[in-house]
Structure 1
Amino acid sequence: MNDRSMRRFRFLAAFGVLFLTVWFLWNTPFVYPVKLFVVLLHEISHGLATLATGGEIVAIEITPLEGGLCRCPGGNAFLTLSAGYLGSLLWGGLMIWGAERFPAFSSWLAAAVAVIVGTSTVLFVQQPFATTFGLAFAAALLAVAWRAGASVNRVVLTMLGLTSCLYAVLDIKSDILDRPELASDARMLAEMTGVPTLLWGGAWISVALLFCIFLFRWAWRRRLTAGGYGSRSSHSSGS
């Protein structure tokens, strides 16, 4: 097996293991905290869109049943409602991109994610469950960033990013396409714009799938040119 084939095999094996781990453990306690983390990112995305368009964040809520709510009056309602699922995709993509693009700094990137979660929890979360979860998750991720090496943090970031992207796709399908009667972001957009809920869901899931395909192709090409897991020399430059 030549070097190019070996890199291709390592990439597919590493990605496959991460994907199958998340997929088969999806409804288990192992992935549950990560799913709550993604729900929190979803609500933070709503809040950031509101802040960026002149509104404010009053409170962010998440529930043990993976529900979430961002009380964020003002701002541009269209952008705020659209930012939830698309924001989860963007967060996931940024974590995967950061882990691939700057592997030597994966510990710092994981610490940055922990700081974002912890700060958002302190500033905007008021429920006991959500506060406990946000601070505990931030502390655990910060401990991994501090104590584990860059290679471990790279895997952690990739798994968090993969789960965030996958959760966005599955959530759009479950909450919008399968049950359009639910009070979802798409339902509220439909009431505001007159465009049916299913069309919003179809548009968002199309964007999500295209984004995931693009991200996979980018990572695939990067691994073939920069080397696979375990390669140090070419990654250390951050090229």
Structure 2
Amino acid sequence: MNKYQFWVFVLVAIIFIQLPLVSVPFKWLESYFHEVSHGLAVLITGGSVVQIELFPNGAGLCTTRGGFTLLISFMGYAGAIMWGYLIYSIASINQKIAKLASGLIIALILSSLVFWVRDILTVLILLVVLCIFFLQFKLPKIGYLQKLLKFTGIMVLLNSLLSPLYLLDGRSIGDGARLAEITFIPEIVWVIIWSIMAVFSLFLLSKKS
């Protein structure tokens, strides 16, 4: 079973994505990692985060001041991909590390609630997202935590693969349009780059598994 565990997770995740109610919290999770990646990129490049907002449809917004705009715009989708990859990889190490990783993510979400969230809707959405990790963290058998954390990583990765495709709607808004404006590289090129990153991350995880 362990030999095919990765592909079982991928198959189940694909099924989950098709289920409207079940998939929503994981879309919110990917959106959170997207927005918090913008926020971390801002902080790393000397700017500040004003507010993070999440919406029921899976969209989000990170309002910032200062920082390196190109990196900030790029790191939304790229960061969500990295989070998915790291969550799965770290959960694969051992049970204690998986529990530590889950605890750190809980701490990050709580910090976001305290410092960057200003509206009740985002608070409610993040509380649901927080429950995903809190329930895993409190599992009586820590072996289940590893498996569920791996599955969560795959869900984040698959949603990160699909999310950039929504930019191809002809409206020229969002991170891709912003990057196109800064670099004069067409939006579709950035979408392709993010898609390749997501696919390559899944490929690396499959080889590791």
Shift of 1:129: 1.2
Q: Which residue of 1 aligns with 2:14?
A: 23
Identify the match of residue 75 of structure 1 among 48, 67, 76: 67
* Residue correspondences, number: 208
- Letter of the 1:20 counterpart: L
What is the one-letter code of the residue matched to 1:138? L
Secondary structure of the 2:31 match is helix
Q: Tell me, yes or no, if the aligned pair for 1:61 and 1:125 is still in contact at 8 Å.
A: yes
- How far 1:169 moved relative to its partner? 0.8
Q: CA deviation at 1:142?
A: 2.1
Match of 1:181 among 166, 171, 184: 171
Q: Which has the larger radius of gyration?
A: 1
Q: CA deviation at 1:168?
A: 0.9
Alignment of 1:1-239 (within 5 A): 9-12=1-4, 14-26=5-17, 27-172=19-164, 174-176=165-167, 178-218=168-208, 220=209
The answer on whether the counterparts of 2:113 and 2:126 sit within 8 Å (CA) in structure 1 is yes
Structure 2: distance between partners of 1:159 and 1:98: 12
When normalised by structure 2's length, the TM-score is: 0.92
CA distance in 2, matches of 1:211, 1:22: 15
Structure 1 consecutive aligned stretches of length 4 or more whose deviation exceeds 4 Å: none
Partner letter of residue 32 of structure 1?
Answer: V
Question: In 2, Cα distance between the equivalents of 1:185 and 1:80?
Answer: 9
Deviation at 1:170?
Answer: 0.7
Across the aligned residues of Structure 1 and Structure 2, the Cα RMSD in angstroms comes to 1.7
Letter in 2 for 1:73: R
Larger relative contact order (Cα-Cα within 8 Å, sequence gap ≥ 6):
2
- Whether the aligned pair in 2 keeps the contact of 1:114 and 1:137 (CA below 8 Å) is no
- Give unpaired runs (5+ residues) of structure 1: 1-8, 221-239
Structure 2 unaligned residues grouped into runs of 5+? none
Q: 1:24 to 1:140 in 2, by over 3 A?
A: closer
Contact between 2:43 and 2:49, CA under 8 Å: does it hold in 1?
yes
CA offsets per residue over residues 36-61 of structure 1, 9 Å max, x none?
01101100000000000000000000
Give 1:139 shift: 4.3
Q: How big is the shift at 1:180?
A: 4.5
Moved more, 28-37 or 82-91: 28-37
Paired letter, 1:72: T
Partner amino acid for 2:63? Answer: R
Is this contact kept in 2: 1:175–1:182, CA < 8 A? no
TM norm structure 1: 0.81
CA distance in 2, matches of 1:86, 1:54: 19
CA distance in 1, matches of 2:44, 2:151: 29
Q: Which amino acid aligns with 2:15?
A: F
Aligned-partner residue type, residue 100 of structure 1: S
Amino acid at match of 1:25: F
Q: Which amino acid aligns with 1:211?
A: S
